[in-house]
Amino acid sequence: MIEGLRTMHRLGRLFLVAMMASVAARAADPKPNIVFIMADDLGSADVGYRGSDIKTPNIDKLAEAGVRLDDFYGEPVCTPSRAALMTGRYPMRYGLQTLVIFPSHTYGLPTDERTLPQALKQAGYTTLMFGKWHLGHADRKYWPQNRGFDYFYGNVMGEVDYFTRDRGGVIDWQRNGTFLKEPGYYMTLIGDDAVRLIDRQDSKKPFFLYFASLAPHAPYQAPQSYKDRYPAITDKNRQAYAGMISALDDQVGRIVRALENKHLRDNTLILFASDNGGATSGLFAQGAKSNDEREHEEGGIDQGAKSPASNAPLRGGKGSLYEGGVRVLAFANWPGHLKPGTVTAPLHMVDIMPTVLALAGGTGSADHPMDGRDIWPVLTAGAPSPNEDILINVEAFRGAVRKGDWKLLKVALLPGKTELFDLAADPGETTNVAAQHPEIAADLEARLLAYAKQQKPSEWIKAQPAFVGSQGHTVFDPDFDIDDGGLPHEKPAPIGR
């Protein structure tokens, strides 16, 4: 017993020394460039280093030379996960905990929330974004360039057609507020622009680059040359999905090469994560319909059809609170600063902002305290997770929380259910052990309920009853110039008028 306590004490001192060395090293280093690559609906089994037949050599190289975060959590769907990244706070604190912002919705990430790019900009960073925003589109105040980004090229809604950027009769594609109608494939366009902007950066000033890929979110669309890489895949949606992941991987490779060519790679931290797990239900993989007359597939699937993504061996997928929906692919890579390895400490998307700000010398908002914690000691020294527990999500009708290896999932809709899983013994969540461990279940349920009492009313639940149909007509800022390249010729009228 005494010897065991001595061993624990020695280990604790080693962790403390490593953490202090990490802090000292950070203080001595110049501010690093930060690149965050967000994949969209990427199945956690759908990359090469996880054994997939989908080829991802560039992602694999970064992951294998970096720190793989095997117990990293996003949110069940796009909007909440992106909000967690941008604020370091759980989405339930500002009403974005339920589903996603539909084209008909007029709300967005509240403007009193201090965002990651705002904090980095104040710390002296140039802030650049490419790709999908999905944190508010109906009013300009929600757009990326008004939430801390110096430069934005991409779309502000959720899914769009990959070839036309059409969504609900609107061409949702802009550069810094100027809407564009231009040819090309989504992934290639944002890759081209990211490489161009990297090449233009002043090497003496740090930058934050947020590369928010739309791929491989539905609709499942890829140029034929990408689909041709997978002749053995006969399912057309799976083949297109594989091609989209290869397109993402190609752009990852181009970004790394651009950093190397600019001699910036050694001072650039690259973070990679998917927003949520792959869509394994047709409900979350139907895709937006294309209005383009060119001969390419729309790429949506029937609601009851099998989705092409895989999160095996995890249970569930996008939209679910089971591990397949929320435990996502993630890793960090920084040559000379992070040693190759795997971390199994439970971490969450909200941890990114405080970690990056600690590296960059930035600060959050005193009146909006972050839920996330600085995880740099975890990445560099294998320290335990700084999170006492992790709120996976909480809504009016369901929620999930993790503490250590234990996870509790509760559904309040009748007949309701409470499930407890030992993720160390049962990562596939096959066996509910709540009855066998009532004390642990009670502790986690009390934690979940405490979070639930702090949540703000869901903006989605407040907004959705006003619309007929699932998503309604597209709404944009009423003051936008409808003749400004690529916008609709007439404004879409709200349903009911």
The enclosing H or E element of 6 equals helix 2-28
Pairing mode of beta strands 330-333, 166-167? unpaired
* Long-range contacts of residues 249-254, Cβ cutoff 8 Å, at least 24 apart: 249/55, 249/56, 249/57, 249/58, 249/59, 250/58, 250/187, 250/191, 251/187, 251/188, 251/190, 251/191, 251/194, 251/211, 251/213, 252/37, 252/58, 252/59, 252/62, 253/57, 253/58, 254/191, 254/194, 254/195
Active-site residue 78, yes or no? yes
Joined tokens for residue 275: 């927003």
How far apart are alpha carbons 454 and 401 in whole angstroms?
14
Alpha carbon distance, N-terminus to C-terminus of the chain: 75
Active-site residue 368, yes or no? no
How far apart are alpha carbons 35 and 128 in whole angstroms?
10
DSSP class per residue in 37-92 = EEESS--TT-SGGGT-SS--HHHHHHHHTSEEETTEE--SSHHHHHHHHHHSS-GG
3-state helix/strand/coil string of 110-167 = CCCCCCHHHHHHHCCCEEEEEEECCCCCCCHHHCHHHCCCCEEEEECCCCCCCCCCEE
HSE toward the beta carbon, residue 244, CA cutoff 13 A: 29
Q: Which DSSP letter does residue 465 get?
A: G
Buried b (16+ CB within 10 A) or exposed e, 175-203: eeeebeeeeebbbbbbbebbbebbeebee
What angle (nearest 5°) sits at the alpha carbon of residue 286, between those of residues 280 and 289? 155
Annotated catalytic residue within 78, 105, 137, 217: 78
How far apart are alpha carbons 118 and 365 in whole angstroms?
11
Residue 58's alpha-carbon distances to 62, 189, 233, 238, 276, in angstroms, are: 6, 18, 21, 21, 21
How far apart are alpha carbons 475 and 233 in whole angstroms?
39
Annotated catalytic residue within 134, 137, 337, 348: 134
Residue 306 dihedral angles phi and psi, to the nearest 5°: -80, 130
What angle (nearest 5°) sits at the alpha carbon of residue 87, between those of residues 364 and 28? 45
By annotation, the residues acting in catalysis are 78, 134
